[in-house]
Amino acid sequence: MLIRYGYEISLTFPQPTALVCLLSVHGDRAADVRIPESVFTNPAVDMSTYTDLFGNTCRRLVAPAGTLVLWGDSTIEDSGQLDPYVPEAREVPVAELPDEWLVYLLGSRYCETDRLSQIAWDRFGALEPGWSRVQAVCDFVHDHITFDYMQARATRTAYEAYREGVGVCRDFAHLAVAFCRCLNIPTRYVNGHLGDIGVPVVDPMDFSAWMEVYLDGKWYAFDPRNNTPRIGRIVVARGRDAADIPLINSFGPHTLTGFRVWTYEVSDLAWAAGRTAETDQM
């Protein structure tokens, strides 16, 4: 299966402003990319890339005063399979966890394990450890939070989402991440592209947030917002929570004036390449 994905984001700045953008596909999918990512800005500015502490590709640039358009597009090959379902996957005792994954047991900016620990153990502590317990966390979060774009808040934490019972996909993910960490299950926050392949059409398209949980020596995707296996997840960035992986980190004031995301299946690589080249010339 071939999936074309990309974005067009318009920002307005009162003065020249440094940006760090996490908008490119994660490096662990590099071998699957079939049409290399085409990235440009309007007006054109110099850009450079680096890899952050979590292995994400970051793009640096300085936006001039006025409006800047960020545009990216690529096509990737995907298995076309649903998210793995491994009900026999077990939790790994903390003493046996690899050193590098211990950080995903700790509290973070949006995932207050100290405030949610007792709640987590009261609700999920008596359940069978492993895949089914993680799924129980997702089931609870999915039912507990009402999705509402109009009540999105960039500063909402996992504990606040639990208390308020409303949020967007990042809030679902933050609460489930925090609960799993409280239960001593390494869990990381993920954002990326998730189209509507195999499900009703999603309009407007947006970036999505979900989580990955470490069970039986592997990382598995869980999605408390949608709470069903999906086809075609394209990871952009991973971190402890949204504070680690903002799509755009602006070191100064700005206004979002345009936002468009696309993720859809294509049947012909030549057609996708032609469309990308045509758009590049706009």
pLDDT score, position 279? 58
pLDDT score, position 200? 85
pLDDT score, position 190? 98
202: confidence class by pLDDT, cuts 50, 70, 90: confident
Bridge partners of 10, per DSSP, are 69, 258
pLDDT at 188 over 60: yes
Q: Dihedral of CA 80/85/86/90: which sign?
A: positive
pLDDT at 6 over 90: yes
Q: Is 137 exposed, middle or buried (CB count within 10 Å of its CB: 0-12, 13-18, 19+)?
A: buried
Residue 102 CB: number of other CB atoms within 10 A?
11
pLDDT score, position 278? 55
- Can you tell me the distance from the alpha carbon of 106 to that of 186, in angstroms, rounded to the nearest whole number? 9
Map out the domains of the chain as residue ranges.
2-80+246-280, 94-231
3-class secondary structure, 102: helix
Residue 144 tokens, joined: 């507990």
pLDDT at 79 over 80: yes
pLDDT score, position 5? 97
Q: Do the domains spanning 2-80+246-280 and 94-231 agree at the CATH topology level? A: no
Residue 238 tokens, joined: 């991973």
Q: Is the Cβ–Cβ distance between 212 and 263 less than 8 Å?
A: no
Tell me the CB-side half-sphere exposure of residue 181, using CA atoms within 13 A.
29
Average pLDDT over residues 217-227: 98
Q: Is the Cβ–Cβ distance between 97 and 56 less than 8 Å?
A: no
pLDDT score, position 269? 75
Domain 94-231 belongs to what architecture?
A: Roll (3.10)
DSSP string over 107-147: -BTTB-HHHHHHHHHHHHTTSPSSHHHHHHHHHHHHHHSEE
pLDDT score, position 280? 54
* Summary mean pLDDT of the chain: 95
Q: Could you tell me which residues come within 8 angstroms of residue 242 by beta carbon, excluding any fewer than 6 positions away?
A: 109, 110, 170, 174, 189, 191, 209
Domain 2-80+246-280 belongs to what architecture?
A: Sandwich (2.60)
Percent of the chain whose predicted confidence (pLDDT) is above 90 = 92
pLDDT score, position 194? 96
What are the pLDDT digits (tens) for 254-282?
Answer: 999 999 999 999 987 766 666 665 555 44
235: confidence class by pLDDT, cuts 50, 70, 90: very high
pLDDT at 122 over 60: yes
What are the pLDDT digits (tens) for 94-110?
Answer: 999 999 999 999 999 99
3-class secondary structure, 117: helix
Distances (CA, A) of 231 to 147, 197, 206, 228: 21, 6, 16, 10
Residue 67 tokens, joined: 């409006």
pLDDT score, position 268? 77
